[in-house]
Amino acid sequence: MADWIEACAVDDVEEEDVIRFDHDGRTFAIYRSPDDEFFATDGFCTHEKTHLADGLVMDDIIECPKHNGRFNYKTGQAKGAPVCVNLATYPVKVDAGKVMIQI
Amino acid sequence: MTTMARKRDYSLVGESTRRAIETGLASAEWYHTDVPRKAMKELMQRSDGPAIRDTIIWIAAILGSAAGIVWFWGTWWVVPFLFVYGVLYGSSSDSRWHECGHGTAFRTRWMNDVVYHIASFMLMRNPVQWRWSHARHHTDTIIVGRDAEIAVMRPPDLLKAGLAFTGILDFRYSLPTLVRQAFGKLSDDEKSYIPEMELNKAVVAARWHVAIYVATIALAIALRSWIPLVLVGLPRLYGTWHMVTTGLLQHIGLADNVVDHRLNTRTVYMNPISRFIYWNMNYHVEHHMFPMVPYHALPRLHELIKHDLPEPNLSMWHAYREVWPVLLRQLKYEDFYLKRELPPTARPYRGEFHEVDMSAAAE
């Protein structure tokens, strides 16, 4: 059974933005969409080991800061070269002002 | 780590490649100037407006000068139109290819893709192959054995560099490359950076390009006129000089095998016309450090981080005057490079990566 882990407070992530969350030797990216929903994916781009949290969130897209590879952070879908492999996503819930992810 | 006692091997599957991977130079962590997230978010913001405006001007100027070529063909009045058309087709397409390849020129993805494919055709570049080669260029900028886009290798071949301004060498390379790829043959170097799942796309793209060139040649024969070829294909020869003039300055004479763009990349102040043609890629250190920032925001990024960068060259002429003696020195001692001084406000270079023994160059 996967555990729910507290990733950050709701206010830690601005609207249409992303932050990095490290846990147990792994890195995740926590997103807040323009319509105020939270999402979580692996923290590294699947193309090369670059932190997506340094990238740009546009609508439902996260763009990697190194080669501009794009993913839909809600589904993890890679949106074309130079990213070809989808991003792992994780269930998210908000509980008492905290963003929890299930890993 | 960076001293290269042996000659450089620029193949992407050779000895330098093996060493770059072994020593950790390949896919390394690169130096970045600290920029607050809020400021970077603002700089990264995409907008269709500037690129739509510039693209309308670009296309209108291309069509206008093409009309001038057709109208004045056979008279001396055609020369200025050839000059303008050539630069727009053979040079400014490079910056459009580049910015749209990064996906930063327009906010809307399909607009980037359309201009990217048109510009790739104008440049005789396979759009699939070059997308991946440019990704590698950003991962391993001027890392010998890894970077597929090193324009001037060491020791420098000055004749080759000079001929580059005419476009002859590039033309001689690009067209046969497209034909080879159209027949389904990709080289080992190309396969080293294009993922297997993309190889077929590269072949299909090459076939489209070759088909358009064949149709252009057929039209020229049918019309018994040079005009179709002067408008499609040949500008890659007579209009490429501006691309080479600006593009060579990006990295020439600077360090290789380092992981700090301040050491291997150059920012040059340029006149507004060249900056339009080049879409602000004269701010090249800034671009490499933060490729997410669109061309129209690079001057703002430059102002924000210039305290941490070497002084930019004041003009293209200033930059070439700086480069020339370095190239001459590299003819005898290929490890020599220009180490640019940082201002006192900058964070220092990381010596363990960047110290090269220059004593032999001083002899």
pLDDT for B224-266, tens place per residue? 999 999 999 999 999 999 999 999 999 999 999 999 999 999 9
Task: Work out the pLDDT band at B217, boundaries 50, 70, 90.
Answer: very high
Owning domain of residue B30: 15-362
Q: What is the pLDDT of residue B170?
A: 86
Owning domain of residue A80: 4-102
Averaged pLDDT, B98-124:
96
pLDDT tens profile B22-68: 999 999 999 999 999 999 999 999 999 999 999 999 999 999 999 99
Residues 23-82 of A with CB under 8 A from B: 47-49, 54-56, 58, 63, 65-68, 70, 79, 81-82
The number of folded domains in chain B is 1
CA-based nearest residue to B329, from B341, B337, B318, B339: B337
**Residue B3 falls inside a structural domain:** no
Structural contact between residues A46 and A83, judged by C-beta atoms closer than 8 angstroms: yes
Query: A interface mutation test: which of B38, B139, B143, B193 has the most A CBs within 10 A?
Result: B139
pLDDT tens profile B177-214: 999 999 999 999 999 999 999 999 999 999 999 999 99
**Residue B87 falls inside a structural domain:** yes
Interface contact B292-A84, CB threshold 8 A: no
pLDDT tens profile B318-334: 999 999 999 999 999 99
Whether B80 shows a pLDDT value over 70: the answer reads yes
Copy the structure tokens of residue B43. Answer: 């700089």
Residue appearing with tokens 């005057």: B321
The number of folded domains in chain A is 1
**Residue B135 falls inside a structural domain:** yes
Q: Which residues pair with A92 in a beta bridge?
A: A101
Whether B223 shows a pLDDT value over 60: the answer reads yes
Span between the terminal Cα atoms of chain B, in Å: 22
Copy the structure tokens of residue B73. Answer: 């063909």
**Residue B20 falls inside a structural domain:** yes
**Residue B82 falls inside a structural domain:** yes
Task: Work out the pLDDT band at A49, boundaries 50, 70, 90.
Answer: confident
Whether B352 shows a pLDDT value over 70: the answer reads no
Whether B313 shows a pLDDT value over 70: the answer reads yes
**Residue B101 falls inside a structural domain:** yes
Strand order in the sheet with A98-102: A4-9, A98-102, A92-95
**Residue B57 falls inside a structural domain:** yes
Cα(A82)–Cα(B101) distance, integer angstroms: 10
Interface contact A49-B27, CB threshold 8 A: yes
